[in-house]
Amino acid sequence: MTTLEKVRTRQRLSPDERIPQILDAALAEFTRCGFAAARMDDIAARCGLSKGGLYAHFGAKEALFDALMQRELVPPDLAPLHALAQRGESGEADRLAEALVDELHRQLMRPSVVAVLRLLVAERERVPQRVAQWHQALVRPWLELLGELLASLAGPDHLLGREPWLAIAPAVHLLTAQLVLGEQAPQALAQARQAHVDMLRGLLSAPARAA
């Protein structure tokens, strides 16, 4: 960290303005040296606070980690997809496939999301209850809503309605590659996106089969 960053003029900001700065600083420090080695002093200096000022907002590094999860690991927005499905027009399945893949890429491939997930993998033994709560409160209900959406479009007995995780599996695979191998080339991302769209179109157009 530069001297300039350490002596940055401290400003009085509202919590709504200050907390995003603190979380950005925490993510930068966690990414730079890992959760265990990150120091609250350095996080405070990076966002222009005293250590006491930082503790006034977050009492421990674990609280910062929890807040980062809540901010970054938010399921993709399904509202636009519901609007498409409700139109009932010809070709909506194709447009929904495009919209779902675009929303998955927009939400999941952000560098901050990749960074937080990398931290989550490294620190899951330290915060297992937070991981479980995140999955129970956000991921599972979101998958249920996605399943209902896909079933309403393709029929209640359709594979994607019964197993909605299949609809997002290519994006999760790509995200895993980002975590393990680093940032992917734009051409590789574009090819993966198109393959995902083509897969969804094919599945949505296929007849439903009984479980």
Write the CA distances from 107 to 55, 100, 141, 167, integer angstroms: 30, 11, 17, 15
At residue 209, the pLDDT reads 55
The pLDDT value recorded for residue 210 is 46
The pLDDT score that the predictor gives to residue 20 is 93
| pLDDT greater than 70 at residue 24 | yes
Per-residue confidence (pLDDT) for residue 62, from 0 to 100? 87
CA distances from 115 to 15, 61, 139, 151 (A): 24, 16, 18, 33
Least confident of 22-31, 155-164, 165-174: 155-164
Instruction: Give the tens place of pLDDT for each residue, 40-93.
Output: 999 999 999 999 999 999 999 989 988 998 899 888 888 888 887 776 665 778
In the chain, % of residues over pLDDT 90: 41
Tell me: pLDDT of 11 over 60: no
Domains of the chain: residue spans and CATH? 3-69 (1.10.10.60), 73-205 (1.10.357)
Q: Which residue has the tokens 């960053």?
A: 5
The mean pLDDT value of the chain amounts to: 85
For residue 124, pLDDT beyond 90: no
pTM of the model: 0.78
